[in-house]
Amino acid sequence: MKLIFAGTPEFAAQALDAIIAAGHQVTLVLTQPDRPAGRGMSLQPSPAKQRALAAGIEVFQPLSLKAAEAQARVAAAVADGAAVMVVAAYGLILPQAVLDLPRFGCINIHASLLPRWRGAAPIQRALEAGDAETGVCIMQMEAGLDTGPVLLAGALPIAAEDNAASLHDKLAELGARLCVEALAALPLPATAQPEAGVTYAHKIDKAEALVDWRRPALALDRHVRAFNPFPGAQARFAGQTVKLWRARPVAGDGAPGTVLAVDREQVVIACGEGALAVSELQKAGGKRLPVREFLAGHPLKAGDAFEVPAE
């Protein structure tokens, strides 16, 4: 069918690839305006825009969809035959006037098992909370934040070694597949989300990244994995910020933040319960390094102590 696609990051781009490969005609792609990125802070197109241009699809990058001219552009695509708008991590609110335009409305690819983790950061929040599984819902969009009825859903387990990057990739693949299945079956019966079990995945704030060594090692393991690759779990040592990229909970006992043991493979740091064995670190302005390379320039020894944040 003819359709409109709205999305911005790689999660969205993978869905767009799958939709095109399935033979659907994407007549318009909406994506966020180009943003400065990289060392030179030059304007960079979003992954979704890059895929659209490579496929010869028209791209529209409004600052908002509330303006009459933006809504008119979407309405023109609908008048040209677009029967549905597929939305994936777009980043702009769709007003009711836009939601009502396509014949099949707007459907969203959301990376959680709704109603758990409505909102902006469902992948990170599921990891941080220690959820055993997560998944993707194809949802009929309405005015509320991820409140619409579910058309199709798929679950997958969260592995003990998953971080936000690896779980993102699994969910992006699942979301792309489910979206194509949903498009082939429209119109689908819609199942209202239950009122029980609603949680909100608030946007990640960089201030959350700071490691509090008074927490249990199990919780800090999830913290490190949830904030990899963004913004990176941050610890303070001798007045410097050190990012922790890879760690695992181990047995250990000591004052929170105290280095219990150091070898070429790991630095073991005491937590409120147990200890965290860190195997990949990064000093501010440096590269991510395995412990043996990090120690060559930044010696750590048993008895040293990472800072514990003020309560």
The string of pLDDT tens digits covering residues 266-282 is 999 999 999 999 999 99
Interatomic CA distance for residues 9 and 47, integer angstroms: 5
Is the pLDDT at 102 greater than 90, yes or no? yes
For each of the domains in the chain, give its residue range(s) and CATH number, in order of start.
Answer: 2-200 (3.40.50.170), 206-297 (3.10.25.10)
Quick: pLDDT tens for 203-251: 999 999 999 999 999 999 999 999 999 999 999 999 999 999 999 999 9
For residue 39, name the pLDDT band (cuts at 50, 70, 90). Answer: confident
What per-residue confidence (pLDDT) applies to 22?
98
For residue 86, name the pLDDT band (cuts at 50, 70, 90). Answer: very high
What per-residue confidence (pLDDT) applies to 253?
96
Q: Name the pairing type of β-strands 289-290 and 259-262.
A: unpaired
Q: Over the chain, what is the mean pLDDT?
A: 96
> Could you tell me the end-to-end alpha-carbon distance of the chain, in angstroms, rounded to an integer?
56
Residues with Cβ < 8 Å from 3, sequence gap 6 or more? 19, 24, 25, 26, 27, 82, 83, 84, 85, 86, 102, 183
* Token pair recorded at residue 176: 């792309």
For residue 136, name the pLDDT band (cuts at 50, 70, 90). Answer: very high
CB < 8 Å & 24+ apart, contacts of 94-98: 94/6, 94/65, 94/141, 95/65, 95/66, 95/71, 96/143, 97/71, 98/65, 98/71, 98/74
User: Structure pTM?
Assistant: 0.94
Interatomic CA distance for residues 251 and 268, integer angstroms: 9
Region for 211 from its dihedrals, namely left if φ exceeds 0, alpha if ψ lies in -120 to 50, beta otherwise: beta
What per-residue confidence (pLDDT) applies to 70?
96
Interatomic CA distance for residues 94 and 105, integer angstroms: 11
Interatomic CA distance for residues 141 and 149, integer angstroms: 8
For residue 299, name the pLDDT band (cuts at 50, 70, 90). Answer: confident
What per-residue confidence (pLDDT) applies to 38?
75
What per-residue confidence (pLDDT) applies to 310?
84
